[in-house]
Amino acid sequence: MNVRIRFRFLLGLLFILCSSALSAQPTGLMMDDSTYEELPAGNLEKVKDHFIPTRYSLKAFAPFPSVQGKIASCVGWATGYGALTMERAIKAGISDRVYITDRLAHSAIFIYQNIKRGPDCQALASIDDALSFLHKNGDCLESTSPTPTVDCPLNSTPKAREEASKYTIETPGFRVFSGHDNPDKKVKSVKAHLAAGHPVIVGISEAPPYRSLVGEDLWHIEPRNKGGHAMVLVGYSDESQRFELMNSYGTSWGKQGFIDVSYQDFSRFCKQAFVLSNNLGTKGLDQQLSEHSVPVAVHAGINIWQNDHQAFEPLAFEVRDQIFRPLNDVSVYQPVNFTISVEKGRCAYLLNMDSEGVVKNIWHSEYPARDTTLKVPEEGWWEFPRAGQEMFCLLYGYEHLPYLDAFLKDVNSIPTPDLQSKIQQQKSVKSCDGVKLNYDANGIFGSSKLNSGIEKFITLFFSINVTS
């Protein structure tokens, strides 16, 4: 798209408010090698269709990462809020992350306050103790015992203890590998347990820094002697040679609270790895969700000003060749904007091909806090300076695109001149099958059952004919 974005006026000044100092996040993990080796081995080195996929993710079943704050409660976050919540979501086939976070998530503080090795909120805890506690006592829901970020309660409430007893685990857990295993065996064992449908709780000898990893994708682990840290592995990719970790530093850290680590760094610094169960289970990629509808409205401005504002009218559409096409053309330099409805906790990406044939991401929304309708562009409008077809693609799903640049590189490497063919032929992102296309006076709609797993999206194409 070769467009100009026009603005009627500017409002104020843009201020970027930065914290003068970000306090270091506490860690909280203690590791006992002898106790770890005494746990039964998971012994999963293949999954039920007898091979380990080259790429796998359970992230669709994860609650949104939260903040442990000044409390050394990482073990509670990794075992209760992370792994136990995900195991229940996987078993139930629920991959609506908003629902998981609001209704299924388990408490981190309930576990931590019952297993910590000291009286204050900086006392360390072990994953072994957490799994033993889950086996005997279970864990209540986060909504019953919300986890604070500054101070921790001394005792559990009777209500929390009663509720926790409903959510025990069958055994005190399994170790994924032995500390004596070589790096390749460590990686293979972890991948097998993930592909069998089990999030892997890990004890890493170094804690990730906070400030330097805000907005980053990859953690290059370096010895800092800041203490051990517990996290949850949710996926892996052989292509990138990385695991993906869920942390407890909040969604502003890393990539929405998650971070990648290379297989090499993982093998070197991960000392312990646990799963709550070692059965083959139901694989996450096979689960299906309820149907979702994605409304999009495209508006073209009429060339008059009303009350000092450009007036816009919605365009009416038809569907030809699985592409939404307006019944009326848009003139060169005629103002155009879109409104796109995004549900709470979903992600949307708008793609377009520029005049040189390069596909670009021109807008995106990731995990809004509530159902919302967004104007695109947010201010002003687009104008098309030359006649021709302007094709757009909207990707809509539960998960963000963690490797957006790599995805666009894959799309642009395909030797075909049109956007639709490029998107359909690329291998980085999976599109939902059987998307139903509809339209009315209010806009265009695509609906489908979103499948959980790796970057699964409802894909909509719409084209605008620009005339001189």
End-to-end CA distance of the chain: give it in Å, rounded.
16
pLDDT tens, residue by residue, 239-253: 899 999 999 999 889
Q: Is residue 7 part of a domain?
A: no
426 and 337 in a single domain? The answer is yes
**Could you tell me the pLDDT band of residue 12, with boundaries at 50, 70 and 90?**
very low
The pLDDT of residue 164 is: 96
Are 201 and 302 contained in the same domain?
no
**Is the pLDDT score of 269 beyond 50?**
yes
* Same structural domain, 122 and 270: yes
pLDDT digits (tens, 9 = 90+) for 324-366: 888 888 889 888 888 888 887 788 899 999 888 899 999 998 8
Most confident of 12-16, 36-40, 72-76: 72-76
Does some domain include residue 174?
Answer: yes
Residue 10 included in any domain: no
pTM above 0.75, yes or no: no
Average pLDDT (44-54) is 63
The reply to whether 26 falls in a domain is no
Higher local confidence (pLDDT), 262 or 222: 262
Q: Are residues 330 and 270 in the same domain?
A: no
**Same-domain check for residues 233 and 326:** no
| 433 and 407 co-located in one domain | yes
Show the domain range for 318: 293-466
Give long-range contacts, CB 8 A cutoff, 24+ apart: 437-440: 437/319, 437/322, 437/324, 439/316, 439/317, 439/318, 439/319, 439/324
Residue 64's pLDDT is 92
Domain end, chosen from 227, 245, 275, is at: 275
Confidence at residue 23, expressed as pLDDT on a 0 to 100 scale: 45
Answer whether residue 16 is part of any domain: no
Q: Of 112-126, 262-276, 304-318, 403-417, which range is least confident?
A: 304-318
Q: Are residues 50 and 110 in the same domain?
A: yes
Say whether both 133 and 191 belong to one domain: yes
The reply to whether 201 and 250 lie within a common domain is yes
- The number of distinct structural domains making up the chain is 2
More confident residue, 295 or 198: 198
Shared domain check, 309 and 259: no
Domain finish residue from 244, 275, 306: 275
pLDDT of the residue at 441: 64
Verify that 160 and 266 share a domain, yes or no.
yes
The CATH number of residue 267's host domain is 3.90.70.10
The model's confidence at residue 174, banded by pLDDT at 50, 70 and 90, is: very high
Residue 100 lies in a domain: yes
Q: Residues 262, 299: one domain?
A: no
Determine the pLDDT at residue 402.
Answer: 67
What is the pLDDT at residue 20? Answer: 31
Highest mean pLDDT among 131-135, 145-149, 323-327, 341-345: 131-135
For 423-437, how does the pLDDT look when each residue is reduced to its tens digit (9 = 90+)? 989 887 877 777 787
CA dist 299 and 338 (Å) reads 6
1 within domain boundaries: no
Question: pLDDT, tens digit, for every residue of 17-40?
Answer: 333 334 456 678 999 888 899 988
Cα–Cα distance for residue pair 364/407, rounded to 1 Å: 14
**Is 158 part of any domain?**
yes
